[in-house]
């Protein structure tokens, strides 16, 4: 498999879940990947899982200095970036009658603000024909109680893709959102814990999905391979809904 042969990718949130699955698939398709995460132990495990062609960078993407360190490391080792995958994020519930400024800022800083400055830092390294993939969520189309901040951040990513697709039209850089449905990752554990009994919450989500099951992280990673590769060379400003139909019906 060589859909990404010779490509250099930066993947935030690459130590677990969708980010890790995407990094693994990218390497399988011939790419070299830089992954970032906040926990060194998790990064070390991810490097072991990926196996080769990977550099792990401990970084908090809400921190400007850490984002600069990512860019400096990539420039020093590879000189260019072909694909940026903004996958780091948090799912944290907050009902409007009890929402706090701290919750709002925490969710927006990681989910909506960090991707802007990630791209800002890496853009000088990007090549013509490059691809930016913003991992959004089917929830940007939906109304689910308790997700005021989260859903709004994912809608922000959809807006960025449209704006940047226009802004980068003379640079040959494509920008798209990838919007998963409910995916079986460690993040789901904390999400379900915030909403009630885990099995009840997961069962409720499954009942909403036309395919009748949760997504596997590898299925979302397959969609990311498409958006990162030349197979999607005429796709920009779009939203790829890998959601099992939950946001469509």
199's CB contacts (< 8 A; 6+ apart) are: none
SS3 (DSSP) at 112: helix
Q: Which residue has the tokens 């009902």?
A: 95
Please state the separation of Cα 72 from the chain's center in Å: 21
Q: What SS3 state is found at 215?
A: strand
With beta carbons less than 8 A apart as the criterion, state whether 50 and 33 touch: yes
Which residues does residue 156 pair with via DSSP β-bridges, in sequence order?
none
d(CA 126, CA 142): 33
* CA 229 – CA 129 distance, rounded (Å): 9
Dihedral pair phi/psi, residue 63, rounded to 5°: -105, 120
**Residue 150 annotated in active site:** yes
DSSP codes joined into one string, 146-201 = TBHHHHHHHHHHHHHHHHHHHHTTTTT-EEEEEEE-SB-SHHHHHHHHHHS-HHHH
Q: Which two tokens stand for residue 222?
A: 């397959």
Catalytic residue among 150, 160, 198, 234: 150
Torsion 180-186-190-195 (CA) sign: positive
Cα separation, 152 vs 111, in Å, equals 9
Annotated active-site positions, please?
150
């Amino acid at each position: 498999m060589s859909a990404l042969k010779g490509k250099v990718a930066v993947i935030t949130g690459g130590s677990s879940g969708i980010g890790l699955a995407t990094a693994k698939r990218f390497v399988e398709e011939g790419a070299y990947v830089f992954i970032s995460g906040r926990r060194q132990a998790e990064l070390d495990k991810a490097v072991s899982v990926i196996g080769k062609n990977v550099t792990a960078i401990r970084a908090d993407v809400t921190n400007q200095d850490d984002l600069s360190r990512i860019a400096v490391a990539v420039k020093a080792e590879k000189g260019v970036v072909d694909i940026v995958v903004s996958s780091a994020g948090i799912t944290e519930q907050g009902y409007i009658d009890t929402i706090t400024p701290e919750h709002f800022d925490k969710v927006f800083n990681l989910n909506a603000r960090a991707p802007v400055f990630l791209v800002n830092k890496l853009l000088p390294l990007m090549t013509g024909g490059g691809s930016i993939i913003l991992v959004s969520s089917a929830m940007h189309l939906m109304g689910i109680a308790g997700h005021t901040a989260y859903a709004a951040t994912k809608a922000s990513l959809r807006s960025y893709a449209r704006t940047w697709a226009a802004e980068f039209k003379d640079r040959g850089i494509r920008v798209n959102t990838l919007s998963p449905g409910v995916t079986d990752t460690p993040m789901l554990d904390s999400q379900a814990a915030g909403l009630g009994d885990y099995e009840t919450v997961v069962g409720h989500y499954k009942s909403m999905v036309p395919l009748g099951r949760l997504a596997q992280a590898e299925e979302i990673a397959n969609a990311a391979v498409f958006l990162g590769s030349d197979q999607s060379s005429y796709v920009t400003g779009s939203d790829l809904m890998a959601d099992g139909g939950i946001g469509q019906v």
